[in-house]
Structure 1
Amino acid sequence: MSLLVDASQARWRKSRRSSSTGSDCVEIADLGEAIAFRDSKDPTGPNLMLARTAWQDLSRRMASGELDL
């Protein structure tokens, strides 16, 4: 599956799980059909996009402890 979603106008927010020291910061943007992630220390760098359904599945699996992260 290929996502062709324009993230140029994304409204990024810092994840609640990011560290308070700024060393491990992730920003998330809701793009409608996709969720995008990026390193807040490199806002012009690459970002990762997941289809909304893939993000929901990943979130559920992380919350349940199914994944060893």
Structure 2
Amino acid sequence: MNVDAARHPALDTTFAEWRKSSRSNPNGNQCVEVSFSTDAVGVRDSKSPRTEMVVFDHRGWGRFLARLTAGSFRIR
């Protein structure tokens, strides 16, 4: 996914509260974490929390969740 940083909000992670899904692997591996702010939603890999993250505005996050729920994504 290619993201144009000028069109998407930044996510200040200084005081971010990251959350894992209750459906995550119990040993903590292979999980994604999500953090919500006033302007953005960040998603990162729990195994590599200091690497890059995907940042959505709230409308984009809603569209992503709708497609995910509808089964629009295929795992290869």
Q: TM-score range with shorter-chain normalisation?
A: 0.7 to 0.9
TM-score by length of 2: 0.73
* Equivalent residue number for residue 12 of structure 1: 18
Equivalences, count:
69
Q: Give the Cα separation in 1 of the matches to 2:48 and 2:41.
A: 18
Is 1:65 the counterpart of 2:71? The answer is yes
* Equivalent residue number for residue 52 of structure 1: 58
Per-residue CA shift, 1:5-53, capped at 9, x if unaligned? Answer: 3122110011234222333111110012211011112222221111110
Q: Give the Cα separation in 2 of the matches to 1:48 and 1:26.
A: 11
Stretches of structure 2 that go unaligned for 5 or more consecutive residues are: 1-6
Could you list the runs of 4 or more consecutive aligned residues of structure 1 that deviate by over 4 angstroms after TM superposition? none
CA RMSD of aligned residues (A): 1.7
Instruction: Percent identity, please.
Output: 30
Q: Give the Cα separation in 1 of the matches to 2:50 and 2:74.
A: 30
Q: Secondary structure at the match of 1:67?
A: coil
Contact 2:31 2:46 in 1 (8 A): yes
Is 1:33 the counterpart of 2:42? The answer is no
Q: Give the Cα separation in 2 of the matches to 1:4 and 1:56.
A: 17
Deviation for aligned residue 1:65: 2.1
Q: Give the Cα separation in 1 of the matches to 2:42 and 2:22.
A: 15
